[in-house]
Amino acid sequence: MTTLSAYSPKVRSVGLDGVLVTFGDAATDEANRAAIAFRSTVDAQGWPEVSESSSTLVSVFFRIDLAEHRFEAISDRLQSILATRDWFAASLPEGRALWTVPAVFGGARAPQFDEAAEAAGLSTRDALRDLTTTRLRVLTLGFAPGQPYLGTLDDAWNIPRQKELTLNVPAGALVAAVRQICLFAKDTPTGWRHVGQSAFACFRPRGDTPFPLTPGDEVQFTDISATELSRIEDTVTDGSGGAIRTELA
């Protein structure tokens, strides 16, 4: 595996649909930071050729019609921006937010919390501490509209996916694997362990901001009772699930 310090960002075409800039061959904090910062910088320049951009765990995709615009010219421009700084040490973009999201951990609403704690080699008390004191970055959105992958947890949480699927986990669920938490946007089957449950809606098609979370945002969970979660579900109708949004400097 190439080490991050030796990794040189790569620019390549994706058919005629656009250009992919990759910052690593493994999901690391530094590669994700680089991808988020680079995307923000190019977006801020407002290239007319770019109709859309998106970032993954370690890369950025710029949708560009390469039948109309020469890849070589686009690649040269991207390479010139890559050369301006060490993107692996770049600051995250301005305008980020911290989301404090209430959730239930364990019990009937999150039935695999104990199992996940055991897989991580932690007591349930220590597992709860980790999941409620770690500020997790929105690494990327994907798999379902607005659905975030959040990371990264301590090494103990590098737990594998299950061998068998859980046939259905509800929207708002927190599921854990490979040092990450995924906050589900909709009911779905999964191989990740269901460790928490919130009422946070990641996709709000009728709101002014359909996707409230953005890569680079941070999320911190707070522990609440199942009774309090039921109250939030019954009374909070804006999709926030009782979450508080705070601007980060």
Q: pLDDT, tens digit, for every residue of 104-133? A: 999 999 999 999 999 999 999 999 999 999
Contact partners, residue 220, CB within 8 Å, separation at least 6: 98, 99, 100, 101, 132, 133, 134, 135, 136
* Cβ atoms of residues 222 and 100 within 8 Å: yes
Query: What is the token pair recorded at 71?
Result: 């890849």
Pairwise CA distance, residues 15 & 242, whole Å:
43
CATH class of 4-89: alpha beta
pLDDT tens by residue, 136-184:
999 999 999 999 999 999 999 999 999 999 999 999 999 999 999 999 9
The more confident residue out of 213 and 208 is 213
pLDDT of residue 64: 98
0.75 surpassed by pTM:
yes
In the chain, where are the structural domains located? 4-89, 97-247
pLDDT band for position 6 (cuts 50, 70, 90): low
**Which CATH superfamily groups domain 97-247?**
Cyclophilin-like (2.40.100.10)
